[in-house]
Structure 1
């Protein structure tokens, strides 16, 4: 029971990080904007289903950005209608995304490379064994399972 709870929390934190990185990517494409739209396909591409998105939204409300020894909320305003997610961010959210983007460029590159490698091996080479895929993509089996589940 405790292990399942820990795994669930870990998955939620991974989903939050992936969502924040998607926001950082959207923001980096248009620095002046405070409003973004993310369609469901983009969310599914990064591994978020509707349930996962609701967990992310709930968790984002607990994240703060420290600015001049004052806690400022990271939490963007979100509206999800089932097809698209409308996001409005604040000045502090932008600062957080900027910091996050700089800190995670290498990590994001690796995650994208692993994702693309696994998809390529499945689609173009008909390799479906998760352990073999994990070894070939230099990642863990759970990550491969997640990518494979999102592919279907």
Structure 2
């Protein structure tokens, strides 16, 4: 009986000693989203103009995927960086043509946190570059374009 008690106590000690707290487990993982710097100077454009966009994206763990999109202008571009060895830094470059019928100003309805609605006059098109790192941390990078 005494041997059984010693075995049970030893087993509990091993189990409790081997277990990590959730904080210790969390500290072992990367929770930082990728950082960015928009390298394009001015994004005041004319309808029909071709615009060069350039964004530098970095992440200390490595980048997995970049997705650039804007539904109103039917823009979509996806880059998977697994084949490139998941670089820690990547300069995303693309060229877009602003549609001839691009809106210069429109009303947009927003819903506040309390549920109330407000209408604003919007003048900037918000293009999104979604950056995902190898640990699936995601950052949505806004790129604003104003059509004059």
TM class by smaller structure: under 0.3
Identify which of structures 1 and 2 has the higher relative contact order when contacts are C-alpha pairs closer than 8 Å and 6+ apart.
2
More helix as a share of residues: 1
TM-score of the superposed pair, with normalisation by structure 1: 0.27
TM-score of the superposed pair, with normalisation by structure 2: 0.27
